[in-house]
């Protein structure tokens, strides 16, 4: 019988799977391992990117720097800036345009009530001139009022004084008065004619602004208003110590330079907010004074 010969393995064919062209397997295995590692790295990057974009996952946005200002500090800074601007604007308005005053007496009822707060136009009498019928606030430089007693200073008096100074609170000083302008420089004012009416430069006037709750008492006077001065009277005639009551002090006249301004608006209380009227029709027929 023929002998069984040992089987000789065939040489590997060129290009067979898992082998290199020169027949070595080590380099082929290495290349395969590298390819698998690259694939795993790419998959890991895709998964990581998906995790960062998924909702509810931790954000990869940079955190605020430790030295950055807090939101509270920024908010307080903005509030402080607004307050400073408001105070400066109030001071400028109070100094050049409008000023608030408090009405402590009944001399101007029913035009102005006790405790009314009014805004006064500081542009009158300069650069804008006064008119008959204007309600004016003026400093008491003629001694019409008794000296105001010194108020005791409390722990917060400086706060009230500061707010009044910048115009955020009305001036509660009793050394100012508020009255209506009846006579301008050169006017001849007389009380009263045969019908009990006030006359200005010979023309009688119907004073529609006078308080009608009481019949005004007749207090005779006959004056010619000098240059640089005005004659003033309260609308509540029986309760007003006005020019009629101070004939022995500067003739009862008010110096124009003492006039703070023209009362323009009742600002408080809310149910009395209104623009004040100078009743120009009452004086429309009055001729110019000498």
Q: Which residues are catalytic?
A: 107, 179
Nearest to 261 by CA among 131, 136, 165: 136
How many whole angstroms separate alpha carbon 213 and alpha carbon 210? 9
Contacts of 192 (CB under 8 A, 6+ apart): 198, 199, 218, 220
How many whole angstroms separate alpha carbon 216 and alpha carbon 235? 10
How many whole angstroms separate alpha carbon 231 and alpha carbon 198? 13
With beta carbons less than 8 A apart as the criterion, state whether 203 and 285 touch.
yes
CA distances from 79 to 71, 72, 85, 89, 108 (A): 12, 11, 10, 15, 41
Q: Phi/psi at 216 (nearest 5 deg)?
A: -60, 135
How many whole angstroms separate alpha carbon 173 and alpha carbon 120? 15
How many whole angstroms separate alpha carbon 79 and alpha carbon 197? 58
How many whole angstroms separate alpha carbon 172 and alpha carbon 15? 109
How many whole angstroms separate alpha carbon 59 and alpha carbon 53? 8
With beta carbons less than 8 A apart as the criterion, state whether 139 and 173 touch.
no
Provide the phi-psi class of 40: left if phi over 0, else alpha when psi is between -120 and 50, else beta: alpha
């Amino acid at each position: 019988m023929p002998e069984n010969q040992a089987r000789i393995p065939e040489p590997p064919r060129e290009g067979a799977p898992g082998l290199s062209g020169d027949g070595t397997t080590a380099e082929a295995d290495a290349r395969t391992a590298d390819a698998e590692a690259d694939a795993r790295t790419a998959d890991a990057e895709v998964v990581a990117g998906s995790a960062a974009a998924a909702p509810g996952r931790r954000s990869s946005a940079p955190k605020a720097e430790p030295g950055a200002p807090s939101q509270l500090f920024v908010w307080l800074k903005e509030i402080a800036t607004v307050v400073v601007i408001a105070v400066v604007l109030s001071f400028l308005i109070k100094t050049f345009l409008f000023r608030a005053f408090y009405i402590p007496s009944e001399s101007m009822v029913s035009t102005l009530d006790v405790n009314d707060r009014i805004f006064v136009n500081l542009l009158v009498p300069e650069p804008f001139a006064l008119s008959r019928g204007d309600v004016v606030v003026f400093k008491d430089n003629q001694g019409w009022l008794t000296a105001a007693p010194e108020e005791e200073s409390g722990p917060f008096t400086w706060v009230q004084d500061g707010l009044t100074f910048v115009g955020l609170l009305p001036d509660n000083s009793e050394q100012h008065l508020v009255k209506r302008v009846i006579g301008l420089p050169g006017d001849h004012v007389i009380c009263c004619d045969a019908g009990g009416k006030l006359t200005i430069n010979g023309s009688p006037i119907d004073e529609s602004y006078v308080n009608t709750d009481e019949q005004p008492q007749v207090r005779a006077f006959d004056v010619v208003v000098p240059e640089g001065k005005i004659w003033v009277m309260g609308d509540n005639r029986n309760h007003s110590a006005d020019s009629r009551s101070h004939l022995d002090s500067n003739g009862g006249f008010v110096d124009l330079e003492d006039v703070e301004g023209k009362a323009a608006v009742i600002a408080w209380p809310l149910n009395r907010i209104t623009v004040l009227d100078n009743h120009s029709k009452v004086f429309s027929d009055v001729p110019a004074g000498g």
